[in-house]
Structure 1
Amino acid sequence: MKTLKLADTNEFTQGAMKRFFLVEDSENFKIINFNLDAGVTFPVHSHDLDGELSIQVLEGEGYFLGENEAEIPANKGDILISQIREPHGVRATTKMRILVTIAPPI
């Protein structure tokens, strides 16, 4: 077992996205904490792989982004679940912390 302290990754970079790898070498999944300053966009992208991902909003507000300029409101406690192949991204309207889980890891 392993315990992770998300409070230890509560850092922001002005006008940018900060990334912390919490679990990066598991054979089964990867968990990544991204902290986005207000107004920062994690661009819409996809991966040519099979698998699923989730994006959980830990703090803040913004939008989950998808193909064809799709925007879904994203607030604290919301979780987006998608195929890895499906275009996905996030735009923060306030300082925003998200936790991304990818299975299998990429």
Structure 2
Amino acid sequence: MKVFKLDETRIFEKDLNKFLVHDSPYFRIINFNIKAGKVFPVHSHPVEGELSIVVLEGEGFFLGDEGSKTPAKPGDIFICSIDEPHGMEAKTDMRILVTIAPPL
């Protein structure tokens, strides 16, 4: 069993801070911290699989294809195919937890 303390990665030194939480052949978990007003650009990956984005802290928007924006607040979960365009925009300092399966 592995325990990772997310409160220790509450760091906003750059526009986007990235912390690898877990990496295995089955899935990868990454904690991203996005400063208020910054954007994690919309992107996709040309592979099969799924990802989830859980908002841990802060408010902003899930970003998608063709400029779509869906409000995001703590406790919200966005789930999509890895090849579907996805990104985030932070209104306030925002922390998200991304799970990718299988890992890229």
User: For the superposition of Structure 1 and Structure 2, which TM-score range results when normalised by the shorter chain?
Assistant: over 0.9
CA deviation string 1:2-28 (max 9, x = no partner): 1110011010025x010001113x010
Matches within 5 A, 1:41-60: 41-60=39-58
2:18 alignment partner AA: R
Aligned length: 104
- Indicate yes or no: 2:16 matched with 1:11: no
The gaps in structure 2 that reach 5 residues or longer are: none
SS of 2:7 mapped into structure 1? helix
- Could you tell me which residue of structure 1 aligns to residue 2 of structure 2? 2
CA deviation string 1:23-54 (max 9, x = no partner): 13x01000000000100100000000000000
The gaps in structure 1 that reach 5 residues or longer are: none
Q: TM-score, normalised by structure 1?
A: 0.96
Q: CA RMSD in A?
A: 0.7
> For the residues of structure 1 that align with 2:31 and 2:20, how far apart are their CA atoms?
6
Percent identity, please.
Answer: 57
Q: TM-score, normalised by structure 2?
A: 0.98
SS of 1:2 mapped into structure 2? coil
